[in-house]
A = this chain, B = another copy of it.
Amino acid sequence: MTGARELHLNLFIYPGGHHEAARRHGSSDTARLLDIRFYQDLARRAEAAAFDGIFLADGPALADNVRYASRFRLEPLTWLSAVAAATERIGLIGTASTTYTEPYNLARQFASLDHLSAGRAGWNIVTTGAPQAAANFGLDAHPVHAERYERARDFLEAVTKLWDSWEDGALVADQAGGLFADTDRIHAVDHEGPLLSVKGPLNIPRSPQGRPVYVQAGSSPDGRALAARYAETVFTAHQTLESAQEFYADLKRRAARLGRDPGQLLVLPGISPFVASTEAEARRLHEQFNSLTQPEYSLELLHRLLGIRLSQEELDGPVPRELIGTEGERGDHSRFRLVLGIIEREELTVRQLLHRLAGARGHRVIAGTPEQVADQLSQWFEQGAADGFNVMPPWLPGGFEVFADEVVPILRRRGLFRHAYTGSTLREHYGLPRPGSRYAARAAPSVV
């Protein structure tokens, strides 16, 4: 990239919005949660604001608490393919699990998404935290953290080879000469990892981006190691500038230590903005959403995050620290530490803590004027805490529209965000290079 450093923005779409009570608020559009046009409209809106990408979470199991909150799952590959057809430039980042898919199937689907979107696919690589997924796949138990990460590494090696298996130009389609594909440029990958064996080649030519942009979200030590080696953008949750700075520096350092250019590993924390014309109004709006939360739901979330079961009678007492389990028992290590950090820094009642988590399950909530929100983003961007943000609107579509209409123009005036796309692929939006195929027999650069 040349010129001044600019920040990157994804719209992270959660059906109905990120605040756990979003669907109970009058400004949410809840009639269209399963209507693809709702998501196509959102993506077009984000594209009009020149966002880098949209982002869909995923997990192959039904959340326990669907009784109270919009916790079904849109399947990202199909959903993003339909969004691709309604947009032209915005990136399309879908979550998929290395624990519960097969490398060959996943490689084909992302290559197809990249083809049909003309180079806009991103893959958010997850190992799946929810233990209930295991029983949907005939497993007695969810593989433990270390096992999942071992498979993730193996899986990444396998699919990267598959995406390299057709060199550029292998598709010839030569009408006169009779050659459809130059099979000298299509390679079996013969991957033999500790857990996975994949022969290849892929059955679809190399896609516009070579492979999808690799996105990663784990912040545990295993997660950081995986991100440092493979990720091109990282999605992460931080409540404080200091925590985000520590993570940012650590990840860039780890990448550099592996010989990578730290500038090609973008750190994009999640932020959930409540924007209004005065700070008081923004806070009122936030409180209004919090007042719609249902303790049955929030206490269940707390149990998942910290391992403590509390009753509704305990809502206005202090958080009973002695009941908190140890990190080792939790699936999501980094989120556990994040919530523990809130408890240690602040004197909160259980209800107050639940409200802090209601916004975006631990991601940072910012309530303020457009200027104040822009100030916060600028500060993190300029003080080594972020290369941009995953914007997690509390409710949809309004919670995103106000951000796009009011905050984005300020970031532009400050020279921090693009006015229009300059590229057409997600890699180009992020300033990331297009990888070559490892099998390409190019003239090696001279080392003499």
Chain A: residues with CB nearer than 8 A to chain B?
A: 23-24, 26, 30-31, 33-34, 36, 40, 59-63, 66-75, 77-79, 81-86, 100-102, 104-105, 108-109, 111-113, 115-116, 132, 135-138, 171, 173, 175, 178-183, 186, 196-205, 294
Contacts and interface: CB of A to CB of B under 8 A. Distances in A.
24 contacts: A30-B173, A30-B175, A36-B115, A36-B116, A40-B85, A59-B203, A60-B203, A66-B183, A66-B186, A68-B180, A71-B180, A72-B203, A72-B204, A75-B109, A75-B204, A77-B81, A78-B113, A78-B116, A79-B116, A81-B81, A81-B85, A85-B86, A102-B137, A138-B198
B100 A102 contact: yes
Contacts of A30: 173, 175
Given A75-B112, A175-B24, A138 B67 contact: no
Name the prevailing secondary structure of the A interface residues. loop
A180 B72 CA distance: 10
Given A85-B86, A105-B101, A23 B59 contact: no
Which of A182, A199, A202 counts the most B-chain CB atoms under 10 A from its CB?
Answer: A199
A182 B78 CA distance: 26
A92 to B, nearest CB: 11
B173 A33 contact: yes
A109 B196 CA distance: 24
Given A75-B112, A77-B77, A78-B112, 9 more contacts: A24-B175, A26-B175, A36-B84, A66-B180, A67-B181, A73-B203, A74-B204, A75-B108, A136-B200
Contacts of A132: 199
Which of A116, A135, A202 counts the most B-chain CB atoms under 10 A from its CB?
Answer: A116
Nearest to A196: B138
Contacts of A181: 66-67, 72
A197 B139 CA distance: 8
Contacts of A175: 23-24, 26, 30
A23 B84 CA distance: 27
Contact of A79 (B61, B69, B81, B201): B81
A50 to B, nearest CB: 22
B197 A138 contact: yes
Contacts of A116: 36, 78-79, 82
Which of A34, A75, A175 counts the most B-chain CB atoms under 10 A from its CB?
Answer: A75
Contacts of A83: 85
A180 B70 contact: yes
A179 B109 contact: no
Nearest to A75: B112
